[in-house]
């Protein structure tokens, strides 16, 4: 199914955004960490004693786990972006199965379980992607061992069924709770009993396995109870598609894709062929235009929509188009996507979004709950190995386990810096999780804001100087505010960091703190698009501002700037690091202090960010 046809819920969008961010933000530092650890373990930088090797191996194990997490995230991102590419070749199933069983025997011994194989003598070879098949079996065997009970038995069976091979992995482990079984093949799913066992995992592997098996022309399913779980999957001996280089031409829309859209879309959908004739409509369209699908199939789309602009746009060019349409007193956003085969247009997808449609209270609560669970699991899976790695590196840097030469110290410093970058990402995710759960706490005290600003500016002077950027700040004497110094320090750090990050060579950044009355504050905020929330303190407000002459913010992006996971196209093009969470968290912290945050910006002329705190 073309990716533009997928209509995601808010939760799915957040997950998809995180997948993109995490896979790219984590990949580079993890690669650098593993390279440095490889150099140390190979003793190319000098000899190590047994205690030093123990700490480095511990760090390596955690880096390897994070690498697998990132690999899964990248795989999901690629599946969502362009599907699965397969390299079919003649494959010896017996060889793959016995290699994997041999690999898992030591793990079975450790978990006090056994693994048996049932294969017929004359098992035929299969034409499939052997690498991906091995990954699928690896996932199923790993789960079977991981969730096995003591003295339990795992049975791996492969047999021929007509023109297919049937694979079966049976365990007598903890099983999957019945209430959660429908979620097993969804992204980021982890069963409650698996979480209680505190086993590692992101809940992506079975999702990837299902997508891969389906791409191979097969099917996967399972049966589970408190006595254990059996996974089955079936693959054709001779799949229809035999090469990724010479794919068969696909129909514009196959039955599975249409069924998917029918089941999942609550918005209106029209599928149109290259001649603008209707292939299919869903029930929502039937209701909007008061028509029956059987009556309009094969008719020109203009006869149903009765809108010259929308119908005429299909003839003009091949780009994505957006329209607004009012029908039956409802406002619809109409988006048209071309479906292409190379340069040729095979048809069009027309989607009608009801802009007045609202979720029920329960649907909204369920969305929020799923989003929070996703973030909590992700944070837990990333935070633990990073914390252990940090401790191992600090022990090595202390030289208590043994002395280090200059090259070893530099490699460990590189690893430490990479680990710190990863911890920043995880810290942002953890803060997000706390904010959503209402557990983000502040510990306010009477403080001079300018003192905190001065310390932070001093820390950024070195970074600014390296970029040949001038960082200006004059420390005034101001009344106290009631604030959490750590949290407000986080806000100031984020705003100055962004200014330094997005200001080019020979640029200037000006930091100020000033006292403003309520009326002055209203006037100042009025220059932006933000509506003030806290302007009634009769003692006035301290206003912090940081002004740069950097790249500026596109007007189209300005309304989204304080949204979760948002990063503008200009920022992405500049290839600067970031999670898209900093400003969302910053705004939340300021609001918790009964202050406002806002900005003014012009593209290529820079931006000024402000926040206010009430004077005590």
467-492 pLDDT tens trace: 899 999 988 889 999 999 988 998 99
Inside any domain, residue 235: no
* CATH (domain of 274): 3.30.450.20
Residue-wise DSSP of 255-290: HHHHHHHHHH--SEEEEEETTSBEEEE-HHHHHHHT
Measure CA of the first residue to CA of the last residue in the chain; give whole Å.
59
Please give the model's pTM, rounded to 2 decimal places: 0.49
Task: Give the β-pairing of 153-161 and 114-118.
Answer: parallel
Residues 100 and 212 placed together within one structural domain of the fold: yes
Inside any domain, residue 245: no
Residues 520 and 422 placed together within one structural domain of the fold: no
Residues 159 and 308 placed together within one structural domain of the fold: no
Inside any domain, residue 346: yes
Q: What are residue 304's phi and psi, to 5 degrees?
A: -100, -50
* CATH (domain of 564): 3.30.565.10
* Boundary-marking domain end, from 304, 324, 354: 354
Identify the helix (H) or strand (E) that includes residue 572.
helix 569-574
Residues 80 and 159 placed together within one structural domain of the fold: no
Residues 110 and 214 placed together within one structural domain of the fold: yes
- CB atoms near residue 68 (< 10 Å): 14
Task: Give the β-pairing of 606-614 and 445-447.
Answer: unpaired
* CATH (domain of 15): 1.20.140
Contacts made by residues 459-464, CB under 8 angstroms, sequence distance 24+: 460/496, 460/497, 460/500, 463/500, 464/500, 464/509
Provide the domain limits for residue 205.
Answer: 89-226
- Between CA 97 and CA 117 the distance in angstroms is 8
Number of domains comprising the chain: 4
Residues 279 and 395 placed together within one structural domain of the fold: no
- Between CA 471 and CA 548 the distance in angstroms is 9
Residues 430 and 458 placed together within one structural domain of the fold: no
Question: Is the CB of residue 593 less than 8 Å from the CB of residue 613?
Answer: yes
> Side-chain half-sphere of 76: how many Cα atoms within 13 Å?
27
Residue 446, pLDDT score: 94
Inside any domain, residue 322: yes
- Between CA 538 and CA 427 the distance in angstroms is 36
Residue 457, pLDDT score: 92
Question: Is the CB of residue 442 less than 8 Å from the CB of residue 484?
Answer: yes
- Between CA 309 and CA 311 the distance in angstroms is 6
Of the candidates 226, 225, 231, the residue with the CA atom closest to the CA atom of residue 206: 231
Planar angle of CA 221, 227, 233, nearest 5 degrees: 15
- Between CA 18 and CA 353 the distance in angstroms is 24
- Cα-based torsion angle of the residue sequence 233, 236, 240, 243 in order, rounded to the nearest 10 degrees: 80
Question: Is the CB of residue 449 less than 8 Å from the CB of residue 610?
Answer: no
Residue 228, exposed/middle/buried by CB under 10 A (0-12, 13-18, 19+)? buried
* The token pair that represents 55 in the structure block: 């700490």
* The token pair that represents 581 in the structure block: 């969470």
Residues 190 and 302 placed together within one structural domain of the fold: no
Inside any domain, residue 489: yes
Question: Is the CB of residue 592 less than 8 Å from the CB of residue 488?
Answer: no
614: β partners: 541
* Boundary-marking domain end, from 226, 256, 276: 226
* The token pair that represents 3 in the structure block: 């990716």
Residues 338 and 380 placed together within one structural domain of the fold: no
Inside any domain, residue 259: no
Any idea how long the chain is?
A: 616
Residues 332 and 471 placed together within one structural domain of the fold: no
- Between CA 415 and CA 62 the distance in angstroms is 12
User: 298 — alpha (psi -120 to 50), left (phi > 0) or beta?
Assistant: left
Residue 232, exposed/middle/buried by CB under 10 A (0-12, 13-18, 19+)? middle
Residue 273, pLDDT score: 84
Can you list the residues of the chain whose pLDDT is less than 70?
Answer: 1-29, 70, 73-74, 77-78, 80-82, 198-202, 240-266, 314-322, 340-344, 355-384, 421, 424-439, 565, 567-579
Of the candidates 375, 410, 423, 421, the residue with the CA atom closest to the CA atom of residue 565: 375
Q: How many helices (H) and strands (E) does the chain have?
A: 18, 19
Give me the helices (H) in 438-549, please. 449-466, 485-501, 518-525
Residues 463 and 609 placed together within one structural domain of the fold: yes
Residue 249, pLDDT score: 41
Residue 295, pLDDT score: 85
Residue 6, pLDDT score: 37
Residues 307 and 394 placed together within one structural domain of the fold: no
* Boundary-marking domain end, from 354, 377, 395: 354
Inside any domain, residue 254: no
Inside any domain, residue 248: no
- Between CA 486 and CA 34 the distance in angstroms is 33
């Amino acid at each position: 199914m073309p990716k533009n046809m997928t209509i995601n819920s808010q939760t799915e969008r957040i997950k998809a955004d995180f997948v993109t961010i995490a896979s790219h933000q984590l990949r580079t530092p993890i690669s650098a960490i593993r390279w440095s650890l490889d150099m140390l373990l190979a003793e190319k930088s000098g000899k190590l004693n047994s205690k030093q090797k123990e700490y480095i191996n511990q760090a390596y194990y955690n880096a390897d786990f994070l690498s697998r997490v990132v690999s899964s995230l990248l795989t999901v991102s690629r599946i969502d972006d362009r599907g699965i590419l397969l390299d079919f070749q003649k494959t010896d199933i017996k060889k793959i199965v016995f290699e994997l069983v041999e690999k898992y025997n030591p793990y079975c011994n450790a978990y006090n379980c056994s693994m048996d194989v049932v294969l017929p003598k004359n098992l035929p070879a299969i034409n499939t992607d052997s690498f991906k098949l091995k990954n699928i079996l690896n996932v199923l065997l790993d789960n079977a061992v991981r969730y096995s009970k003591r003295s339990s038995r795992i049975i791996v069976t492969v047999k021929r069924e007509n023109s297919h091979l049937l694979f079966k992995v049976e365990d007598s482990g903890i099983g999957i709770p019945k209430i959660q079984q429908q979620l097993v093949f969804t992204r980021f799913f982890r069963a409650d009993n698996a979480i209680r066992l505190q086993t590692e995992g992101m809940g992506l592997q079975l999702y990837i396995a299902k997508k891969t098996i389906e791409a191979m022309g097969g099917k996967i399913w399972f049966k589970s109870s408190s006595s254990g779980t059996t996974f089955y999957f079936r693959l054709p001996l001779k799949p229809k598609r035999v090469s990724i280089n010479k794919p068969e031409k696909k129909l514009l829309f196959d039955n599975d894709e249409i069924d998917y859209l029918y089941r999942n879309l609550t918005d209106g959908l029209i599928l149109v062929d290259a001649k603008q004739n209707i292939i299919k409509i869903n029930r929502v369209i039937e209701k909007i235009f008061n028509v029956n699908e059987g009556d309009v199939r094969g008719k020109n789309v203009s006869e149903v929509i009765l809108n010259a602009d929308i119908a005429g746009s299909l003839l003009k060019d091949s780009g994505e188009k957006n329209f607004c349409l009012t029908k039956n007193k409802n406002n619809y956003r109409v988006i048209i996507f071309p479906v292409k085969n190379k340069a040729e247009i095979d048809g069009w997808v027309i989607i009608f979004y009801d802009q007045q449609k609202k979720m029920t209270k329960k649907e909204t609560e369920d969305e929020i709950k799923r989003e929070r669970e996703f973030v909590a699991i992700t944070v837990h899976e990333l935070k633990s190995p990073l914390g252990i790695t940090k401790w191992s590196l600090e022990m090595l840097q202390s030289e208590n386990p043994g002395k280090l030469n200059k090259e070893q110290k530099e490699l460990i410093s590189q690893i430490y810096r990479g680990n710190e970058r990863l911890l920043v990402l995880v810290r942002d995710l953890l803060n997000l999780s706390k904010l959503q759960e209402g557990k983000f706490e502040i510990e306010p005290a009477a403080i001079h804001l300018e003192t905190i600003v001065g310390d932070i500016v001093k820390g950024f002077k070195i970074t600014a100087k390296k970029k040949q950027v001038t960082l200006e700040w004059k420390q005034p004497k101001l009344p106290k505010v009631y604030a959490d110094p750590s949290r407000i320090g986080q806000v100031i750090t984020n705003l100055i960091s962004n200014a330094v990050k997005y200001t080019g060579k020979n640029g200037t950044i000006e930091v100020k703190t000033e006292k403003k009355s309520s009326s002055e504050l209203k006037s100042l905020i009025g220059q932006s698009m933000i509506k003030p929330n806290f302007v009634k303190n009769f003692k006035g407000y301290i206003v912090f501002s940081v002004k740069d002459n950097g790249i500026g913010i596109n007007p189209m992006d300005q309304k989204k700037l304080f949204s979760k996971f948002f990063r503008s196209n200009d920022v992405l093009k500049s290839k600067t690091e970031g999670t898209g969470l900093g400003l969302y968290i910053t705004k939340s912290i300021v609001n918790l202090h009964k202050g406002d945050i806002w900005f003014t910006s012009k593209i290529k002329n820079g931006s000024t960010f402000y926040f206010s705190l009430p004077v005590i």
